[in-house]
Amino acid sequence: MTAGKTGGLKRYYDLNGWLFVAPSLLLIAIFLVYPILRSLYLSFFSGKGMMMKFAGFGNVVRLWNDPVFFQALTNTVTFFIVQVPIMITLALMLAAVLNNDKLKFIGFFRTAIFLPCVASLVAYSVLFKSMFSVDGVVNSALLTVGLISTPIGWLTEPFWAKVLVILAITWRWTGYNMIFYLAALQNIDKSIYEAAKIDGVPAWARFVYITIPMLKPVILFTTIISTIGTIQLFDEVYNLTEGRGGPANATLTLSLYIYNLTFRFMPSFGYAATISYVIVIMVALLSFLQFYAARDRS
């Protein structure tokens, strides 16, 4: 085959390849790239509804004078700092336990722990609100065993409202992270553990010095996706507090504040777009720090 024919055949396959992926690229451009660029453009405008005018960095200045924004930022960071380590640690421990093939009903336990992440968000939010109401089953159980003397206002007291959101997120997403760890654990050669056993290495040391280092890439991955999900936290708070982020903005997150600015209050698209880029910066910075902390130092 001559060089000219080879070049023509290559161009033919290149063209067919681009035509094959063109619909997907078009959808990505319309529903992903354009909204990103449009939101960046809107962040330089201020005003209510569609009556907007160019404001430069006026929305950034407004951020520094907005106590509700700082409340939402504080709540979001609190959820991230408290909930993500708890969820990652719990998922890792559950995966280690459920990696034992000798455990009875292992399939049932794996399925039961994973099921919450595929459960209906609205259904489980309603269930949590019922369980954690003042006269709900949780308060009744705590009163029965004598752990509390008066019912806890899970949905009416700021501190306990935060605790409830953390419990809800942990319950829903721990099984999701556990599946990643379980899959990774099953790919570790069992002869490594057998050799460590023969050498007299205790179980806790095998977990710390063998399991965790070998799961490092998966731990980094789950930590980053959990970070992104928590920084963008919206669904649980919206459903548990009926979109208010209460009580007294105690559970208001940045994503919920953006929603309220766009749909619940007088629309302020420019300011909402500016806050959305605060989330972008936070996710990028935290992901970079996690990659940096987990880098190979050898």
pLDDT (tens, 9 = 90+) of the chain, 298 residues, equals 555 555 565 676 677 778 888 899 999 999 989 988 988 888 888 877 667 788 888 888 989 999 999 999 999 999 999 999 999 999 999 998 888 878 888 888 888 999 888 888 888 888 888 899 888 899 999 999 988 888 898 888 989 999 999 999 999 999 999 999 999 988 888 888 888 888 888 888 888 888 888 888 899 899 999 999 999 999 889 888 887 887 888 999 999 999 998 888 778 888 899 999 999 999 889 888 888 877 765 5
Same domain assignment for residues 126 and 250: yes
Beta carbons within 10 angstroms of residue 139's beta carbon? 19
Same domain assignment for residues 159 and 283: yes
- Please check whether residue 279 is in contact with residue 230, taking contact to mean a CB–CB distance below 8 angstroms: no
pTM: 0.86
Same domain assignment for residues 208 and 253: yes
Task: Measure the CA–CA gap between 73 and 70, rounded to whole angstroms.
Answer: 5
> Is 196 inside a domain boundary?
yes
Give the CA distances from residue 273 to residues 236, 252, 258, 267, in Å, rounded to whole numbers and listed in that order.
22, 17, 8, 11
Closest-CA residue to 94 (of 82, 111, 81): 111
Domain range enclosing 242 = 60-293
> Is 50 inside a domain boundary?
no
Total count of domains within the chain: 2
> Is 49 inside a domain boundary?
no
Task: Measure the CA–CA gap between 272 and 275, rounded to whole angstroms.
Answer: 5
Task: Measure the CA–CA gap between 54 and 207, rounded to whole angstroms.
Answer: 57
Same domain assignment for residues 37 and 120: no
> Is 48 inside a domain boundary?
no
User: What DSSP element (H or E) covers 46?
Assistant: strand 45-48
210: domain CATH number?
Answer: 1.10.3720.10
